[in-house]
Chain A
Amino acid sequence: DAEITQSPRHKITETGRQVTLACHQTWNHNNMFWYRQDLGHGLRLIHYSYGVQDTNKGEVSDGYSVSRSNTEDLPLTLESAASSQTSVYFCASSEASGRARGNEQFFGPGTRLTVL
């Protein structure tokens, strides 16, 4: 079965360190997204990609970067981790088109990141 996986599931790091969160999907979806989930804010969009070599900033992109070298993977990098980036991070993917189906997004299980 197709799926979307994230690793690690839990990560503790220190302020100032570089951290990379992995996201891998086997749906063959062109669209991939990174969200962060914080209490009272729901999910907020960090970065997204519509295909290989395409990346775009979301609403809360400061301090984060992504790269898309193939269809399956969209790693999220925190260049210099800050305590404000302690959160749960979700990766998602969807088909490039298909408005009639509502463009459903499929989510990974999440990564809980703690920055000390």
Chain B
Amino acid sequence: GNSVTQMEGPVTLSEEAFLTINCTYTATGYPSLFWYVQYPGEGLQLLLKATKADDKGSNKGFEATYRKETTSFHLEKGSVQVSDSAVYFCALGPDTGRRALTFGSGTRLQVQP
């Protein structure tokens, strides 16, 4: 079945540092890929998405490229801010026969001033 593996957290960075959060997936077919962000006490918000191979999703300075050859969708940001502190979830799908998303375990990011 489908699965998503994210790097373990927490990730602690200083403000303006470069961020990478790794995400790899296992899937049948050609699912879409997503990054969701969860700020403290809130629900999940879509950060970015990519619907086919080689697509690059981007939003708020974050980027991720759908790499079919390496089954990866790593999240990057060139210069993080304290306000980026949150939990980030990589998600897979939906795909044929399944409209729900498959989530990774989440990676907590803490940015220090």
Residues on A lying within 8 angstroms of B by beta carbon are: 31, 33, 35, 40-45, 48, 50, 58, 90, 92, 94, 99-110
Contacts and interface: CB of A to CB of B under 8 A. Distances in A.
Nearest to A9: B41
Nearest to A43: B103
20 contacts: A33-B100, A42-B4, A42-B89, A43-B89, A43-B101, A43-B103, A44-B103, A48-B99, A90-B43, A99-B51, A99-B94, A100-B51, A101-B51, A102-B50, A103-B32, A103-B99, A104-B46, A105-B101, A107-B36, A107-B43
Interface residues of B toward A: which range?
Answer: 20 to 34
Given A48-B99, A48-B100, A102 B106 contact: no
Contacts of B32: 99, 102-103
A50 B99 CA distance: 9
Contacts of B105: 40-42
